[in-house]
Amino acid sequence: MFTKSLIGLSVLVALFGCTNDQTEATPNTIKTSDKLVKTPEVDINKRANIDLKVAQFTQDFIQAEPALATSLNLSSDIGGDFQQRLPDYSPAGMQALQQKMQHWASELASIDTANLSDDDKRHVVVNQVIASYYAGDRTFNAGYIDTWAGHLPYIVNQISGPLIDIPAILTDQQTISNLSDAQDYLSRLSALAEMTLQVKAKVEADATNGVILPKPLFTNTLKYLANFVAKPASEHALVTSFEEKLTNTAKINDKHRQDLVAQATKLVGEKIYPAYRKVSLLMTSLEQKAPTDVGIWAQPNGESFYQHDITYLADSDLSADEIHQLGIEEVNRITSEMDSILKANGYDKGSVGERMIQLSSEPRFLYQNSDAGRQQLLRILVKISLW
């Protein structure tokens, strides 16, 4: 129901949207800018209960996702003391998060929205859907909850996951403007080592349940894990980015800066690297047991998980087979239209694909590989965009 790019915005809506400051003078008016607008009779206690539940849901979610709080640059008033912590990706941690989100999805879905304004009704539904999104598929116990993409099946893979995303947040998004911030960063480096072992435990638990990363994805996954620990710790981005931030912080003197960098180097070399190597060894051992089929349907309860993703990522109630059939019908429809257009222009030999290749090689559709040729093509593209 929400794409990856909209989930973060929806979280902000959950945090800040549609709360309080709406009642004015009488129960059946709301303040919009400087005007009072007549609305149906609103139960003030009902609205207060909604605000309370949304606030509690939001607090529970942000408490479980301190790295997201950093990405969203939340204040401590909203996110609490999150700069030292990282999410719990252990089997128990993921189960607790999903159960908590399912609890709030049920709580929010049970709210009686009668007599609420359309905006308030929408506010309740948005938060209920967000909670359901993060609750994930209850029939698929593997994987993890990603703060952007929701329930994903493989916590260690070649393109995403905590072992890729969390270091990026630390290097790119965690700010350091004073000594306290620097100490928080060191605490998070220590937490990263612990988190990596939690991820390892989750991979082991998933494998026990029969869910293992597909074999074709192992090569690049193992390459990433190897590259992560390839450089000396002092040259790793977790250290060099920290050193650069410290250099740009006038409130930290040279001696403190050197001591802090030394601590970071030690944590990376003695705590984080060994944890990543343990994950790499585990993944190497699992490669021989991995399924050769890459489709999620090949995993236990994979079809249910796929349907869950269709619901929340494709915003559709169609089944996978129905979507596949729709795709076939659309390809046939578009191909038929292309065939008619091509024939009307004198191209009637060969398949549609062959005729399109023929068109692409004709001089009138080619442009010089030069600034003049590119400008000519851009002018045509601008015209097309105006049609």
pLDDT of 55 over the 50 cut: yes
Q: Is residue 226 part of a domain?
A: yes
Q: Which one is predicted more confidently, 266 or 50?
A: 266
The pLDDT score that the predictor gives to residue 22 is: 43
- For 27, what's the count of Cα atoms within 13 Å in the CB-facing half-sphere? 11
Considering the chain, what is the average pLDDT of its residues?
90
Q: Are 43 and 114 part of one and the same domain?
A: yes
Q: Are 90 and 214 part of one and the same domain?
A: no
Q: Which of 152, 171, 202 is where one domain is finished?
A: 152
3-class DSSP state of 144? strand
Q: Is residue 232 part of a domain?
A: yes
Rounded to whole angstroms, the Cα distance separating 132 from 83 reads 26
Beta bridge mates, 77? none
Q: Which of 152, 185, 208 is where one domain is finished?
A: 152
Confidence class for position 102, pLDDT limits 50, 70, 90 = very high
Q: What angle do CA 319, 103, 311 make, to 5 degrees?
A: 15
For a pLDDT cut of 90, what percent of the chain falls above it? 79
pLDDT digits (tens, 9 = 90+) for 108-121: 999 998 888 899 99
The pLDDT score that the predictor gives to residue 7 is: 52
Q: Are 188 and 330 part of one and the same domain?
A: no
DSSP at 145: E
Q: Are 144 and 231 part of one and the same domain?
A: no
The pLDDT score that the predictor gives to residue 46 is: 79
The C-alpha torsion from 236 through 229 and 214 to 166, rounded to 10°, is -40
Q: Are 47 and 184 part of one and the same domain?
A: no
Q: Are 1 and 138 part of one and the same domain?
A: yes
The pLDDT score that the predictor gives to residue 44 is: 73
Q: Are 272 and 286 contacting, i.e. CB atoms less than 8 angstroms apart?
A: no
pLDDT of 28 over the 80 cut: no
Q: Which of 152, 176, 211 is where one domain is finished?
A: 152
Phi, psi of 117 (to 5 degrees): -70, 165
Q: Which one is predicted more confidently, 229 or 13?
A: 229
pLDDT digits (tens, 9 = 90+) for 355-377: 999 999 999 888 899 999 999 99
Range of the domain at 105: 1-152
Q: Are 133 and 175 part of one and the same domain?
A: no
Query: What average pLDDT does range 131-142 have in this prediction?
Result: 96
Q: Is residue 101 part of a domain?
A: yes
The pLDDT score that the predictor gives to residue 27 is: 44
Q: Is residue 195 part of a domain?
A: yes
Q: Are 6 and 148 part of one and the same domain?
A: yes
pLDDT of 40 over the 80 cut: no
The pLDDT score that the predictor gives to residue 25 is: 38
Q: Are 146 and 3 part of one and the same domain?
A: yes
Q: Are 90 and 225 part of one and the same domain?
A: no
Q: Which one is predicted more confidently, 22 or 162?
A: 162
- Angle (deg, nearest 10), helices 91-109 and 44-64: 170
Q: Is residue 105 part of a domain?
A: yes
Q: Is residue 308 part of a domain?
A: no
Q: Is residue 267 part of a domain?
A: yes
The pLDDT score that the predictor gives to residue 43 is: 66
The structure tokens listed for 238 are: 């977790």
Query: What average pLDDT does range 238-248 have in this prediction?
Result: 97
- Angle (deg, nearest 10), helices 162-172 and 218-228: 40
pLDDT digits (tens, 9 = 90+) for 274-318: 999 999 999 999 999 999 999 999 999 999 999 999 999 999 999
The pLDDT score that the predictor gives to residue 114 is: 87
- Look at the chain and report how many structural domains it folds into: 3
- 50 burial class (0-12, 13-18, 19+ CB within 10 angstroms)? buried
Q: Are 214 and 226 part of one and the same domain?
A: yes
The residue length of the chain stands at 387
Q: Are 28 and 52 part of one and the same domain?
A: yes
Rounded to whole angstroms, the Cα distance separating 131 from 133 reads 5
Confidence class for position 235, pLDDT limits 50, 70, 90 = very high
Confidence class for position 11, pLDDT limits 50, 70, 90 = low
Task: Report the range of poorest mean pLDDT among 1-15, 83-97, 140-154, 232-246.
Answer: 1-15
pLDDT digits (tens, 9 = 90+) for 178-192: 999 999 999 999 999
For a pLDDT cut of 70, what percent of the chain falls above it? 89
Rounded to whole angstroms, the Cα distance separating 259 from 12 reads 38
Rounded to whole angstroms, the Cα distance separating 125 from 169 reads 30
Q: Is residue 304 part of a domain?
A: no
The pLDDT score that the predictor gives to residue 386 is: 85
pLDDT of 258 over the 90 cut: yes
